[in-house]
Amino acid sequence: MPIEEAYRDLALSKLERFGKIVEEKLKAQVSELDQEDLEFGLSLSLQDENLSQLWQECIEDNHYMEVSFMEVMEHHDGAYLKATFKNSRGPYTAERYVSIRSSGRVETSHAFFLIMDNLTFRVEKEPSGNFKVFVKSV
């Protein structure tokens, strides 16, 4: 059954809203970086309580995502399923990674990607609530 377009558009607009806010916060940090260092990539940190709440709403609780990758793997402790779900609009992409082990344990993680000014950014939320950002020139 096809998904209702209004539901899909709502999910993608949440992604876009989050992306615009992160883009503004990263522009200031990137302007201070040496361009030669960006060729190999740098790790940055973002700290913002409001961004943490927005991450929860726009990335983790965003229930519309398309399947982009699925694989069943055999491991020494049994089989498990790996799946990647993706939302994308313009320069913004959110991904949800799900692993389901044969023991029934489910592991979920999220990442947000941004392309801006010939730079790619990967943003992940740390358990502390801060954000880890990896930036590299394209």
Instruction: Give me the residue spans of the domains in the chain.
Output: 5-137
Confidence of residue 1 (pLDDT cuts 50, 70, 90): low
Taking only the tens place, the pLDDT of each residue in 38-57 is: 888 999 999 888 899 999 99
Average pLDDT value over all residues in the chain: 91
| pLDDT score, position 2 | 67
| pLDDT score, position 32 | 80
SS3 content of the chain, % helix, strand, coil (to 5): 30, 45, 25
Does the pLDDT at position 116 exceed 90?
A: yes
Look at residues 46, 14, 26 and name the one whose alpha carbon lies nearest to residue 119.
26
